Structure 1
Amino acid sequence: MTAVEELPESAGHGVHGYSKRKDEHLKRLRRIEGQVRGLQRMVEQDVYCIDILTQVSAGTKALQAFALSLLEEHLKHCVAAAVEQGGPEADAKVAEATAAIARLLRT
């Protein structure tokens, strides 16, 4: 058992729905980070506003795609497991996922 596995899941550590694709997610986030750094360079270089806004849109779409992927994994793993076990934990996980979806829709 690793140190991370020994910590309780409530502490924010443990096996999560995204764990199996963690490397893929990190790669995607590094690409998004590169897009944001590119935006900084564009502003430093006084690039035309519309060109910067086009890149902002691309970065926003990339973050949204990441969020949807993470949400899907959460539903398949965390919510599904809670529903399978039943009880108040299931209702709490569904409510938590619903609130996350609402936040995503507001952005």
Structure 2
Amino acid sequence: MVKHIILWTLKETDADKKAEILANMKEHLEGLAGKVPGLLEVHVRTNPLASSNAEVMLDTTLENEEMLKGYQKHPAHVEVANTYVRPYTDVRMCMDYEV
């Protein structure tokens, strides 16, 4: 299995808009479960402690590295990323590893 972890910080916005952005990211990213082959688990965390320097974490588990490559190009993932993530994020960090 492969873990695919993403950390983001958001672009500056007011508190109400930020709450809406975070809710949409969580709903739509977690909604990819069952739509993308090989995607076994997907969890989005939007409640970091004050000691954190990221605002959102995507924690996914995929069957293998080949499925990760397919996930990254899958139309459902691309649509969610382009609509609910990329327009609102400033910094992105990624770590993929085998488990």
**TM-score if structure 2 supplies the norm length?**
0.36
**TM-score if structure 1 supplies the norm length?**
0.34
Task: Flag the structure with more relative contact order, 1 or 2, with Cα contacts below 8 A and sequence separation at least 6.
Answer: 2
Return the structure number with greater helix share: 1
Return the structure number with greater strand share: 2
Q: Which has the larger radius of gyration?
A: 1
